[in-house]
Chains A and B, each alone.
Chain A
Amino acid sequence: DSGVTQTPKHLITATGQRVTLRCSPRSGDLSVYWYQQSLDQGLQFLIQYYNGEERAKGNILERFSAQQFPDLHSELNLSSLELGDSALYFCASSVEWTSAYNEQFFGPGTRLTVL
């Protein structure tokens, strides 16, 4: 158990819908990362937050947004869902936001299926 929690574990929805994925980082970790794992693209970085502030953006679509709340949990919002958004979404956390000796701890993931 990494100490990172993600809910829900599974999510099945229809095209055009909007969903929210939730992540709680390990106690003491200030940085949260969101990653998407799809069959064709593999693991890709979406976005990073540190202590409530956006720190880095990767291949995140405009239909997707995220935020980190004062209690440090984070939510990833996916809207106008398409079939291609079906994937495993991982959240990871770390103490710092720079890469120097910055081990990341991964949550169990949320499997999103868009029908």
Chain B
Amino acid sequence: KNEVEQSPQNLTAQEGEFITINCSYSVGISALHWLQQHPGGGIVSLFMLSSGKKKHGRLIATINIQEKHSSLHITASHPRDSAVYICAVSPGSQGNLIFGKGTKLSVKP
């Protein structure tokens, strides 16, 4: 079993829909990261959080430390949101990341 599990693996949405991507982890962590990878391959950090909730524009990330679960929400989705969204955790006191397999999101106009 992977230490970081994401669901769904693939997601197709219509423009304007509210989207949720889930992440569960089984190790102790000091932080959880949400990353975005575009078709060109580049990776961008969207959020880093250790508790509660963060919001940036149309993106919202939440984490429940007790349940070892995080969600990434996209409100009013747009075709430019199409990308792979990757959940990653910083285990314990180490600096490296453990990654989920990613969720491929396609938003249709």
Interface positions, chain A 32-57, Cβ under 8 Å from B, are 33, 35, 42-45, 48, 50, 55-56
Residues on A facing B (Cβ under 8 Å): 2, 31, 33, 35, 42-45, 48, 50, 55-56, 58, 88, 90, 94, 96-106, 108-109, 111
Question: Which of chain A's residues has its CB closest to B102's CB?
Answer: A42
Min CB gap A59→B, angstroms: 10
Bound complex: CA A45 to CA B96 (Å): 7
When the two chains form their complex, are residues B90 and A102 in contact, meaning their CB atoms are under 8 A apart? yes
Other A-B pairs, 18, CB within 8 Å; known A33-B95, A103-B33, A103-B48: A2-B44, A31-B95, A33-B96, A42-B99, A42-B101, A43-B86, A45-B97, A45-B98, A48-B95, A98-B94, A99-B31, A99-B90, A99-B91, A99-B95, A104-B45, A106-B35, A106-B44, A106-B45
B45 partner, pick from A44, A88, A99, A103, beta carbons under 8 A: A103
